[in-house]
Chains A and B, each alone.
Chain A
Amino acid sequence: MKPVRALILASLCASAFAGAAVLKTDPAKSSVAAVFKQMNVPVEAKFKTFTAQIDYDAAKPEAAKASVEIVTASMDLGDAEYNREVAKKEWFNTAQFPKASFVSTSIKPAGPGKLNVAGKLTIKGKTADVNFPLSVKTEAGKQVFEGQLPIHRLAFNIGEGEWKDTSMVADEVVIKFRVSAGK
């Protein structure tokens, strides 16, 4: 067996044993989108490709872990030309930073169906500590996690040069997500 293959196999086995409660996400019923205001017009752009790893057991929520990886080039503004533009250096610089990520550092129960999540958000090579409320409910035998995370795009250098003008594109951006996952 080739060493690389052996490594992949080993890590697959390891993750299968270590993460007994890791849920399988259903991409068709999950979504991540950025909502922002452009000259006061609310615009929503979905990220078409992302993966979410959620390790959650309703019986012991404080042991939960979550991580999300988003392919930045998959942002869809509904126009092929604009999609190419936001991949450029001034925006997501997808060539150098192909992925944005979130990794939880603590998840605490906050009432029925609610969790408080803290973690590290990395976009365009910049990492920031973030906190946000997360709701969890059961839908057709799957756990559905939903939440909104408000961020400031300029803190992550999203929109450089002339795009720093927040009267054109507001600094506040809300990352809206929904992850449907089950065993």
Chain B
Amino acid sequence: MQRYSLPAIILHWLIAFLIIGTFTLGLVMTDIPGLTPTKLRYFSWHKWAGVTVLALATLRLLWRLRRRPPAYPGNMPAWQSRVAHGLHGLLYLLMFAVPLSGYFYSLAAGVPVVWFGLFPLPVLIDADPALKPVLGALHYWLNMLLAALVTVHVLAALKHALFDRDGIMGRMLPFRTNHKEFR
């Protein structure tokens, strides 16, 4: 079965691990009570990682528009292919919406983002105490939606590998394998 192109595979896994790490860090840092240097450090790292996801997602979208992914096998039911495309579309949307909502949340809180502590990113909106809680809630719920959809995505990939054994998951694995589940 035809595999995804190498740039698509690299970007998929890079973004996947970054999202899992940034999401986890977000939960950990917001759980730290009060104000500690560790908390402030985690907040900065979280923002740097989020902006990195946004940058990689942009590259990935450009690549996706240039190069279509390999087609699904002909015997896959049409509804499954529609659901898969819909889910992938939503995941693409959230790869942008989640970091952007966090970025604007930080700006509304009056804290600009300086990427890796080196590159000051544009301050597009002023500090806004009324908008801050709205963007905070939006960022949180978009993340919960992303976590739910990623779970569905992973379960669907495993279903293809373990039950359907149709090789769909193998197309995105970073290595070629002759295991029958992935072929």
Contacts and interface: CB of A to CB of B under 8 A. Distances in A.
Interface of A: 38-44, 78-79, 81-82, 85-86, 162-163, 165, 168
Q: Provide the main secondary structure of the chain A interface.
A: mixed
Given A40-B117, A44-B110, A168 B40 contact: yes
B31 to A, nearest CB: 13
Contacts of B44: 39, 41
B77 interface: no
Give the contact-size bracket for chain B: 10 to 19
Nearest to A159: B37
B111 interface: yes
Interface in B14-48: 34-37, 40-41, 44
Contact of A40 (B110, B118, B132): B118
A30 B117 CA distance: 32
A78 B132 CA distance: 9
A39 B35 contact: no
Given A78-B129, A78-B132, A85-B34, A41 B118 contact: no
B127 interface: yes
Nearest to B47: A41
Nearest to A168: B37
A86 B111 CA distance: 17
